[in-house]
């Protein structure tokens, strides 16, 4: 499956936002009843999640960590880093959040006496599992696409032998660099996004002369390593 850069960024942003919302729901479950125990046949006492210090700490820490997934879309520029940070925050936050209801069920509730589980406990479990699933989904979002240039078939002329595949592999590959330029006609557009170019943020391929926005070509070269117009390998990621 191949996605454009914009689509990958959009999916990571949506998944990061969803993860943050799920983390907030998990924290919200602390104010709901987690367990109701009865001291006798008449009186019953409701226990909210925030009343147990360990549960409060685990749930808040896991939920906040999951919420950092949304911030990663603003703090990191590279798609691969953005995906790794989001997946880490969602998955680790989900594990910590899931420990909270597990601790409540197996450590605290047996000491409280007879009663029944309430809605807050179920919401905390579901939201924690949802964070784990979100982390797994994010880890499978592709963020690196490689374009492999197709060699141009050799042309056989009279008296000139054709090049064999072995000989072609021995020919040094031409490379290019992206250089800043303000020398372009009025109304010229970026080869990648087809939007008008601006002075001070424009670059061109030294090999073919194609024009780009600096942000567009930076993102393209980081993922593909070649010029999008002539497919010539680019020597470095950043514009010289």
Question: Which pLDDT score is estimated for 147?
Answer: 46
Query: Model confidence over 196-213: pLDDT tens digits?
Result: 998 888 999 988 989 999
> For 114-127, how does the pLDDT look when each residue is reduced to its tens digit (9 = 90+)?
889 999 999 999 99
Could you tell me what percent of the chain has a pLDDT over 70?
Answer: 82
CA pair distance 39, 42, nearest whole angstrom: 8
What are the domain boundaries of the chain? 5-139, 174-240
Reported as a single tens digit per residue, the pLDDT across 126-136 is 999 999 999 99
Could you tell me if 195 and 219 are in contact, meaning their C-beta atoms sit under 8 angstroms apart? no
117-130: burial string, b at 16+ Cβ within 10 Å, e else: bbebbebbbebbeb
Q: Is the pLDDT of residue 145 over 60?
A: no
**pLDDT score, position 235:** 80
Q: How far is 37 from 7, CA to CA, in rounded Å?
A: 50
Longest dimension (CA), the chain: 106
CATH code of domain 5-139: 1.20.140
Model confidence at 33, pLDDT cuts 50, 70, 90, reads: very high
Q: How confident is the model at residue 219 (pLDDT cuts 50, 70, 90)?
A: confident
CATH topology match: 5-139 vs 174-240: no
pLDDT tens column, 80-98: 888 899 999 999 999 999 9
Of residues 16 and 143, more confidently modeled: 16
Nearest to residue 8, comparing CAs of 239, 229, 220?
Answer: 220
Confidence band for 183, pLDDT divided at 50, 70 and 90? confident
Q: Taking all residues of the chain, what is their mean pLDDT, rounded to a whole number?
A: 83
CATH class of 174-240: alpha beta
- Tokens representing residue 26 in the block: 């998990």
In this structure, the number of other CB atoms found within 10 A of the CB of residue 50 comes to 17
**pLDDT given at position 4:** 67
């Amino acid at each position: 499956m191949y996605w454009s850069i914009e689509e990958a960024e959009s999916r990571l942003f949506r998944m990061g936002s969803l993860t943050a919302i799920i983390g907030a729901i998990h924290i919200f479950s602390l104010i709901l009843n987690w367990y109701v125990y009865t001291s006798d046949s008449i009186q019953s006492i409701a226990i909210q999640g925030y009343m147990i210090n360990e549960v409060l700490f685990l749930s808040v820490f896991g939920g906040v960590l999951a919420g950092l997934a949304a911030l990663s879309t603003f703090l990191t520029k590279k798609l691969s880093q953005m995906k790794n940070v989001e997946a880490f925050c969602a998955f680790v936050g989900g594990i910590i959040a899931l420990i909270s209801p597990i601790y409540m069920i197996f450590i605290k509730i047996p000491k409280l006496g007879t009663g029944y589980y309430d809605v807050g406990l179920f919401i905390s479990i579901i939201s924690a599992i949802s964070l784990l699933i979100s982390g797994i989904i994010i880890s499978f979002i592709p963020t690196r696409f490689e374009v492999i240039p197709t060699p141009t078939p050799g042309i056989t002329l009279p008296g000139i032998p054709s090049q064999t595949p072995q000989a072609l592999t021995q020919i040094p590959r031409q490379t290019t660099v992206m250089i800043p330029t303000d020398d372009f006609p009025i109304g010229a557009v970026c080869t990648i996004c087809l939007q008008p170019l601006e002075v001070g943020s424009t670059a061109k391929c030294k090999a073919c002369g194609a024009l780009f926005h600096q942000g567009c070509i930076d993102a393209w070269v980081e993922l593909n390593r070649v010029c999008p117009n002539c497919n010539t390998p680019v020597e470095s990621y950043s514009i010289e």
